[in-house]
């Protein structure tokens, strides 16, 4: 082989080389996703492992789900209280029913025995007519219970004169409290006085005329408090009003049986 001048090394053109000059060809753009066949293969990396969701109990070691336990405790407490209340209400209802059947409690009865007027005078003056009256009332209170006693608190008695143009009050009087045994009848007495009660002139003359003829009618009302005594123990007292129908002096003198009074329990429930 003949030695000659050393050959010049051929320079490799780098990728994307673009020759300058008028003879250079335009360089083509690589499409998206293009992969050079001469490039080494790309090893796909594994995606990160997804952590499994643990129950709330195991998220924090050593800690209990306080909210759920507290809610469960409140529900249990409410259910226990409700069940206890229902059981107590049932037992009380049963006990009350047995006690009612055994004692058979009944309200007392009242009847006006007599009404007397020791003074009844109407004075006509220049400034009007004025009424002076003094009355005495007796009311018979009967206890129909055979196993229960009655306890009456202090009260007040009121006497009115019944008239078509309106009732006229002729006095009130206090009534002392008392106790009443089983199957017992007690007479309650009180006296009422009125002085200088102003009335209409026509009403005053009409009432005075009726008093002379014994046709005048008196209404009686008693306000008191009533309780029961069972096996030596007294219950609480409730307010009552005893309303008696109008009674005339002529009915009392003739000895007629006067009608029974009616009872208002708690001052608004009518009980006959």
- What confidence category does residue 160 fall into, taking pLDDT thresholds of 50, 70 and 90? very high
Token pair for 58: 């195991």
Which residues, other chains included, contact 180 with Cβ-Cβ below 8 Å and sequence gap of 6+?
Answer: 108, 141, 143, 149, 150, 151, 152, 186
Rounded Cα gap, residues 173 and 103, in angstroms: 34
Residue with tokens 């008693």: 222
pLDDT, residue 2, reads 45
H helices of the chain, in order, are 56-59, 66-103, 201-212, 249-254
Rounded Cα gap, residues 259 and 109, in angstroms: 11
Rounded Cα gap, residues 15 and 4, in angstroms: 33
Q: Per the confidence metrics, is the pTM higher than 0.85?
A: no
| pLDDT of 142 over the 60 cut | yes
Rounded Cα gap, residues 261 and 245, in angstroms: 7
- Which residues are bridge partners to 168 per DSSP? 161
Rounded Cα gap, residues 10 and 24, in angstroms: 19
Question: Could you tell me if residue 158 is inside a domain?
Answer: yes
75-117, pLDDT tens digit by residue?
888 888 888 889 999 888 888 788 777 778 888 999 999 999 9
Q: Give the count of domains, the chain.
A: 1
Question: Could you tell me if residue 8 is inside a domain?
Answer: no
Question: Could you tell me if residue 227 is inside a domain?
Answer: yes
Rounded Cα gap, residues 240 and 266, in angstroms: 5
12-39, pLDDT tens digit by residue?
555 555 555 555 555 666 677 666 677 6
Question: Could you tell me if residue 140 is inside a domain?
Answer: yes
* Nearest one of 224, 221, 245 to 180, comparing CA atoms: 224
Question: Could you tell me if residue 51 is inside a domain?
Answer: no
170-219, pLDDT tens digit by residue?
999 999 999 999 999 999 999 999 999 999 999 999 999 999 999 999 99
Rounded Cα gap, residues 131 and 198, in angstroms: 6
Question: Could you tell me if residue 16 is inside a domain?
Answer: no
Question: Could you tell me if residue 26 is inside a domain?
Answer: no
55-79, pLDDT tens digit by residue?
555 555 555 555 556 666 788 888 8
Largest CA distance in the chain: 182
Question: Could you tell me if residue 169 is inside a domain?
Answer: yes
**Edge-to-edge strand order for the sheet containing 128-142?**
109-125, 128-142, 185-199
Task: Note down the domain range covering 240.
Answer: 109-267
Instruction: Find the distance separating the first CA and the last CA of the chain, reported in whole Å.
Output: 154
Higher pLDDT, 192 or 42: 192
């Amino acid at each position: 082989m003949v030695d000659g001048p050393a050959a010049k090394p051929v320079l490799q053109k780098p990728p994307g080389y673009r020759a300058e000059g008028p003879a250079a060809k335009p360089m083509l753009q690589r499409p998206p996703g293009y992969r050079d066949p001469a490039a080494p293969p790309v090893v796909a990396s594994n995606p990160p492992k997804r952590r499994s969701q643990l129950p709330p109990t195991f998220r924090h070691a050593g800690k209990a789900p306080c909210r759920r336990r507290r809610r469960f405790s409140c529900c249990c407490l409410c259910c226990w209280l409700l069940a206890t209340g229902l059981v107590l209400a049932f037992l009380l209802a049963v006990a009350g029913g047995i006690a009612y059947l055994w004692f058979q409690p009944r309200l007392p009865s009242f009847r006006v025995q007599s009404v007397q007027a020791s003074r009844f005078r109407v004075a006509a003056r220049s400034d009007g007519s004025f009424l002076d009256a003094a009355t005495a009332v007796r009311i018979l209170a009967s206890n129909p219970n055979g196993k229960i006693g009655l306890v009456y608190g202090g009260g007040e008695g009121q006497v009115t004169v019944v008239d078509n143009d309106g009732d006229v009050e002729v006095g009130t009087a206090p009534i002392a409290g008392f106790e009443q045994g089983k199957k017992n009848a007690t007479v309650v007495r009180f006296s009422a006085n009125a002085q200088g009660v102003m009335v209409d002139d026509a009403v005053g003359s009409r009432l005075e005329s009726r008093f002379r003829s014994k046709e005048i009618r008196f209404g009686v009302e008693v306000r008191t408090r009533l309780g029961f005594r069972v096996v030596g123990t007294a219950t609480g007292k409730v307010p009552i009003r005893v309303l008696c129908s109008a009674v005339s002096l002529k009915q009392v003198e003739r000895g007629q049986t006067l009608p029974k009074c009616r009872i208002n329990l708690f001052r608004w429930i009518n009980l006959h």
